[in-house]
Amino acid sequence: MNSASFDFAPLFPARLPPPVARWTGHVKYDFTGGNNDSDGLPLEGLITATEAVLRREGRTLSTYGLNSGPQGYRALREFLVTKLKADAGIACSADDILITSGSLQALDLVNATLLERGDTVIIEEDCYQGSINRLNRLGVTPVGIPLERDGMRMDALATALDDLKRKGIRPKYIYTIPTVQNPTGTILSVERRQEMLRLSVAHGVPIFEDDCYCDLVWSGERPPALYAMSEHGGAIHIGSFSKSIAPALRVGYIVAPWDVMSRILALKTDAGTGALEQMVLAEYCAANFFKHVPALRRGLRAKLQTLMESLNEHFGTTAEFDEPKGSIFLWVKLPDGVDTMKLYQPALAAGVAINPGPEWSVNKGHSRSRMRMCFASPSHEEIHQGVATLAEICRREFGVLAPGEKS
């Protein structure tokens, strides 16, 4: 086959995103991506659960949606009803839940249900790159609200909503990652949650709550979900098993009122999320989830400790960060002279991958010298060596001082 002969280029729509480059493998010190701690994977438990559930009801795999219909494996939705009540305070039924292919499909489905080109939404100023990219691709304008240690600033949210109202713009939603925010690791306080809900109702703007990191709070205690606190039903809640069990499984979920759910279901055109993973998760989690997650968190917290110690050792006071109360990433501020977009390439050339701040923020000035460092996947040794290597690059490329060194 002469693949050069047929020219597909004239057939591509104008708005198609640029082509991707070929994948070249993992880097040596990878501080990017929501990969989890492989030592924390409950492998034996998953194997046992798989055999049990397949022996009991494996033949249902021959039917689309098993015997559970289009919203996903019923036993998994029933586990989620229990889990969401126990930790997030959400009172819902299995009929309010849709199982998705990770919380990324949940993001895409909620966006497709609510957004069209030209719309405006409110997000946290520093925000998950995948959410920002989706909005850009959809032609939707994100209005960023600054964050503090207690999460999104409610005075700034009120001002933004008022400003938009004056311009005749009703944002389609307030998107928030309230519980272990990405990338800042902040947790929205209960008081701010109440205020956000008040503003949501006052302006008729629903809350889109992305709770995919909520299981990672070290104390195991989290504020109630906005979805749980809402008295008016104006919230959509999404979550994931990627951070609590394993990301490659690709199992997430949406909790939404039926008038939204019935619209979302019309857009889920993939005939269901992978059934084997749903079955295995339901079987495993019903018996083990609440024992497994604290053990996983202990391992993650130890890696965070290693990361913070390494940063202190190799950067000293030139790397600033707030210790998060739970997370798989650290939002690090380097000296103002460092442009992390320009740090990215030389770091990668030295085998260190980081997330440059401007890719995780709609405020390019504020995020210019910041970076996100994910710590769940690399080993303690890799964290140490990777940070040491990164510090060398920062000294070489940007003249960042070594600890104790004076300018």
Report the site for its own copies in 2-21 (rule: CB under 8 A).
2-9, 11-21
* CB 47 to its own copies: min, Å: 5
Within residues 262-281, the interface with its own copies by CB under 8 A covers: 262-263, 265-267, 269-277, 280
Interacting residues with its own copies between 220 and 259 (CB under 8 A): 230-234, 246-251, 257-259
Least Å distance, CB 88 to its own copies, is 13
Reference 175, options 201, 196, 203, 150; nearest CA is 196
**Number of residues in contact with its own copies under rule CB under 8 A:** 103
Binding its own copies (rule: CB under 8 A), the pick from 28, 51, 82, 349 is 51
Contact between 202 and its own copies by CB under 8 A: the answer reads no
Separation between Cα atoms, residue 241 and residue 1, nearest integer Å: 43
Nearer to its own copies by C-beta: 64 or 317? 64
Q: To the nearest whole angstrom, how small is the minimum distance from the Cβ of residue 274 to its own copies?
A: 3
Q: What is the DSSP letter of 217?
A: B
When binding is defined by CB under 8 A, the residue of 31, 37, 128, 304 that contacts its own copies is: 37
- Binding to its own copies (CB under 8 A): which residues in 287-316? none
Q: Burial level of 3, CB count in 10 A (0-12/13-18/19+)?
A: exposed
Among 184, 361, 369, 377, binds its own copies (CB under 8 A): 377
Q: Give the Cα separation of 239 and 250 in Å (integer).
A: 11
Pairing mode, strands 370-374 and 355-356 = antiparallel
Closest C-alpha among 160, 158, 174 to residue 122: 174
Q: Does residue 176 contact residue 188 with C-beta atoms inside 8 Å?
A: yes
Q: Is 345 helix (H, G, I), strand (E, B) or coil?
A: helix
Q: What share of the chain is helix, strand, coil (3-state, %, to 5)?
A: 50, 15, 35
In terms of CB distance, is 26 or 396 closer to its own copies?
26
Q: Give whichever of 238 and 260 is closer to its own copies, judged by the CB atom.
A: 260
| C-beta of 221 vs 231, nearer to its own copies | 231
